[in-house]
Copies of this chain bind each other. A is one copy, B any other.
Protein backbone atom coordinates (compact mmCIF):
# COMPACT_ATOMS: atom_id res chain seq x y z
CA UNK A 1 0.00 0.00 0.00
CA UNK A 2 2.99 2.21 0.46
CA UNK A 3 3.93 1.65 -3.14
CA UNK A 4 0.46 2.64 -4.24
CA UNK A 5 0.85 6.02 -2.59
CA UNK A 6 4.13 6.63 -4.33
CA UNK A 7 2.90 6.35 -7.87
CA UNK A 8 3.91 9.90 -8.61
CA UNK A 9 7.47 8.53 -8.61
CA UNK A 10 8.87 6.28 -11.27
CA UNK A 11 8.67 2.52 -10.70
CA UNK A 12 12.26 2.15 -9.60
CA UNK A 13 12.04 4.89 -6.98
CA UNK A 14 8.80 3.51 -5.64
CA UNK A 15 10.33 0.09 -5.18
CA UNK A 16 13.37 1.58 -3.52
CA UNK A 17 11.21 3.63 -1.16
CA UNK A 18 8.91 0.78 -0.24
CA UNK A 19 11.92 -1.34 0.75
CA UNK A 20 13.57 1.12 3.10
CA UNK A 21 10.68 3.17 4.43
CA UNK A 22 9.56 2.30 7.94
CA UNK A 23 5.79 2.74 8.14
CA UNK A 24 4.89 3.94 11.63
CA UNK A 25 1.52 4.47 13.34
CA UNK A 26 1.05 7.26 15.88
CA UNK A 27 -2.04 8.07 17.97
CA UNK A 28 -3.94 11.37 17.76
CA UNK A 29 -2.77 14.36 19.83
CA UNK A 30 0.86 13.24 19.74
CA UNK A 31 3.36 16.07 19.41
CA UNK A 32 5.57 15.04 16.50
CA UNK A 33 8.09 17.84 16.62
CA UNK A 34 8.72 21.13 18.41
CA UNK A 35 11.30 23.93 18.05
CA UNK A 36 13.29 22.15 20.75
CA UNK A 37 13.00 18.65 19.30
CA UNK A 38 12.59 18.70 15.50
CA UNK A 39 11.89 15.48 13.67
CA UNK A 40 15.20 14.04 12.52
CA UNK A 41 14.05 12.06 9.53
CA UNK A 42 12.30 12.47 6.24
CA UNK A 43 8.62 11.77 6.80
CA UNK A 44 5.95 11.04 4.23
CA UNK A 45 2.40 11.12 5.60
CA UNK A 46 0.30 8.11 4.53
CA UNK A 47 -2.83 8.65 6.61
CA UNK A 48 -4.29 11.26 8.94
CA UNK A 49 -3.77 15.00 9.45
CA UNK A 50 -0.87 16.84 11.06
CA UNK A 51 -1.30 20.39 12.30
CA UNK A 52 1.81 22.58 12.04
CA UNK A 53 1.51 25.72 14.13
CA UNK A 54 3.41 28.53 15.80
CA UNK A 55 2.86 29.33 19.47
CA UNK A 56 3.47 32.71 21.06
CA UNK A 57 4.91 33.36 24.49
CA UNK A 58 1.39 34.24 25.68
CA UNK A 59 0.09 30.85 24.55
CA UNK A 60 -1.88 32.06 21.55
CA UNK A 61 -1.57 29.76 18.55
CA UNK A 62 -1.73 30.14 14.79
CA UNK A 63 -1.97 27.42 12.18
CA UNK A 64 0.83 27.52 9.61
CA UNK A 65 -0.49 24.65 7.49
CA UNK A 66 -1.87 21.13 7.69
CA UNK A 67 -0.16 18.02 6.29
CA UNK A 68 -2.45 15.48 4.63
CA UNK A 69 -1.80 12.04 3.09
CA UNK A 70 0.86 12.35 0.37
CA UNK A 71 2.43 15.43 1.98
CA UNK A 72 5.93 15.38 3.35
CA UNK A 73 7.24 17.45 6.17
CA UNK A 74 9.61 19.61 4.15
CA UNK A 75 10.20 22.21 6.80
CA UNK A 76 11.88 19.93 9.30
CA UNK A 77 13.82 18.22 6.53
CA UNK A 78 15.15 21.43 5.12
CA UNK A 79 16.05 22.77 8.54
CA UNK A 80 18.02 19.61 9.16
CA UNK A 81 19.84 19.95 5.85
CA UNK A 82 20.33 23.67 6.31
CA UNK A 83 21.21 23.49 10.00
CA UNK A 84 18.55 26.06 10.95
CA UNK A 85 16.47 26.37 14.10
CA UNK A 86 12.96 25.17 13.50
CA UNK A 87 10.28 27.63 14.59
CA UNK A 88 7.09 25.54 14.69
CA UNK A 89 5.48 22.52 16.28
CA UNK A 90 3.61 19.61 14.71
CA UNK A 91 0.71 17.78 16.29
CA UNK A 92 -1.23 14.76 15.03
CA UNK A 93 -4.85 15.91 14.79
CA UNK A 94 -5.97 12.38 13.99
CA UNK A 95 -4.25 9.01 14.34
CA UNK A 96 -1.59 8.97 11.63
CA UNK A 97 0.47 6.55 9.59
CA UNK A 98 3.71 7.73 8.01
CA UNK A 99 6.63 6.35 6.03
CA UNK A 100 9.86 7.39 7.65
CA UNK A 101 13.40 7.08 6.39
CA UNK A 102 16.76 8.51 7.45
CA UNK A 103 18.24 11.55 5.77
CA UNK A 104 21.03 9.71 3.97
CA UNK A 105 18.34 7.84 2.04
CA UNK A 106 16.68 11.17 1.33
CA UNK A 107 19.90 12.59 -0.05
CA UNK A 108 20.51 9.48 -2.12
CA UNK A 109 17.04 9.65 -3.62
CA UNK A 110 17.53 13.32 -4.43
CA UNK A 111 20.75 12.48 -6.23
CA UNK A 112 19.37 9.55 -8.19
CA UNK A 113 15.72 10.19 -8.97
CA UNK A 114 14.42 13.07 -11.05
CA UNK A 115 10.89 12.06 -10.05
CA UNK A 116 11.76 12.32 -6.36
CA UNK A 117 13.32 15.73 -6.93
CA UNK A 118 10.15 16.89 -8.65
CA UNK A 119 8.09 15.56 -5.77
CA UNK A 120 10.19 17.33 -3.17
CA UNK A 121 10.26 20.61 -5.06
CA UNK A 122 6.54 20.43 -5.58
CA UNK A 123 6.14 20.02 -1.84
CA UNK A 124 8.38 23.02 -1.20
CA UNK A 125 6.52 25.16 -3.69
CA UNK A 126 3.21 24.30 -2.07
CA UNK A 127 4.48 25.19 1.39
CA UNK A 128 6.03 28.47 0.27
CA UNK A 129 2.88 29.56 -1.51
CA UNK A 130 0.74 28.50 1.47
CA UNK A 131 2.87 30.48 3.89
CA UNK A 132 3.10 33.57 1.70
CA UNK A 133 -0.66 33.51 1.17
CA UNK A 134 -1.23 33.13 4.89
CA UNK A 135 0.94 36.16 5.66
CA UNK A 136 -1.09 38.20 3.23
CA UNK A 137 -4.34 37.02 4.85
CA UNK A 138 -3.23 37.60 8.42
CA UNK A 139 -1.69 41.00 7.79
CA UNK A 140 -4.05 42.50 5.26
CA UNK A 141 -7.49 40.90 5.45
CA UNK A 142 -10.43 41.38 7.77
CA UNK A 143 -11.29 38.71 10.29
CA UNK A 144 -14.83 38.16 8.94
CA UNK A 145 -13.40 37.55 5.47
CA UNK A 146 -10.90 35.06 6.81
CA UNK A 147 -13.48 33.30 8.99
CA UNK A 148 -15.86 32.90 6.06
CA UNK A 149 -13.08 31.40 3.94
CA UNK A 150 -12.05 29.05 6.75
CA UNK A 151 -15.62 27.81 7.20
CA UNK A 152 -15.75 27.05 3.47
CA UNK A 153 -12.51 25.06 3.79
CA UNK A 154 -14.00 23.04 6.63
CA UNK A 155 -17.10 22.39 4.52
CA UNK A 156 -14.86 21.06 1.74
CA UNK A 157 -13.13 18.72 4.17
CA UNK A 158 -15.96 17.49 6.32
CA UNK A 159 -19.30 18.58 4.85
CA UNK A 160 -21.67 21.35 5.88
CA UNK A 161 -21.89 20.27 9.53
CA UNK A 162 -18.63 21.40 11.08
CA UNK A 163 -17.69 19.78 14.39
CA UNK A 164 -15.30 22.28 15.90
CA UNK A 165 -15.18 24.57 18.90
CA UNK A 166 -14.80 28.32 18.59
CA UNK A 167 -11.50 27.97 20.41
CA UNK A 168 -10.04 25.62 17.77
CA UNK A 169 -11.21 27.94 14.99
CA UNK A 170 -9.55 30.88 16.73
CA UNK A 171 -6.32 28.86 16.84
CA UNK A 172 -6.52 28.30 13.08
CA UNK A 173 -7.05 32.01 12.47
CA UNK A 174 -4.49 33.17 15.03
CA UNK A 175 -7.24 35.19 16.70
CA UNK A 176 -9.11 35.06 20.01
CA UNK A 177 -12.06 32.85 20.93
CA UNK A 178 -14.34 35.78 21.80
CA UNK A 179 -13.73 37.37 18.41
CA UNK A 180 -14.68 34.14 16.63
CA UNK A 181 -17.78 33.75 18.80
CA UNK A 182 -18.94 37.28 17.99
CA UNK A 183 -18.33 36.89 14.25
CA UNK A 184 -20.12 33.53 14.17
CA UNK A 185 -23.04 35.13 16.03
CA UNK A 186 -23.18 37.79 13.34
CA UNK A 187 -23.15 35.10 10.64
CA UNK A 188 -26.00 33.34 12.46
CA UNK A 189 -27.98 36.61 12.66
CA UNK A 190 -27.61 36.85 8.86
CA UNK A 191 -28.94 33.31 8.55
CA UNK A 192 -25.71 32.01 7.01
CA UNK A 193 -25.01 29.39 9.71
CA UNK A 194 -26.70 27.69 12.63
CA UNK A 195 -24.68 27.38 15.84
CA UNK A 196 -24.69 24.53 18.35
CA UNK A 197 -22.40 23.41 21.10
CA UNK A 198 -19.19 22.28 19.34
CA UNK A 199 -20.85 22.43 15.95
CA UNK A 200 -21.60 24.84 13.13
CA UNK A 201 -24.08 24.06 10.37
CA UNK A 202 -23.49 26.01 7.18
CA UNK A 203 -26.82 27.06 5.66
CA UNK A 204 -25.81 29.59 3.00
CA UNK A 205 -22.56 28.81 1.21
CA UNK A 206 -22.97 31.46 -1.49
CA UNK A 207 -23.22 34.14 1.20
CA UNK A 208 -20.02 32.89 2.82
CA UNK A 209 -18.32 32.83 -0.57
CA UNK A 210 -19.31 36.45 -1.12
CA UNK A 211 -18.01 37.40 2.32
CA UNK A 212 -14.75 35.47 1.74
CA UNK A 213 -14.11 37.50 -1.41
CA UNK A 214 -14.59 40.67 0.63
Contact of A121 among B78, B122, B125, B127 (CB under 8 A): B78
A81 touches B139 (CB 8 A): no
Contact of A174 among B64, B122, B134, B139 (CB under 8 A): B139
Nearest-neighbor residue (CB-CB) of A213 within chain B = B57
Q: Given A121-B82, A122-B81, are A87 and B132 neighbors across the interface (CB < 8 Å)?
A: yes
The count of identical subunits is: 2
A-side interface residues toward B, CB under 8 Å?
Answer: 54, 56-58, 60, 62, 64, 74-75, 78-79, 81-82, 84-88, 107, 110-111, 114, 117-118, 121-122, 124-129, 131-136, 138-141, 174, 214
A139 touches B138 (CB 8 A): yes
In Å, the complex CA distance between A54 and B137 comes to 10
A132 touches B132 (CB 8 A): no
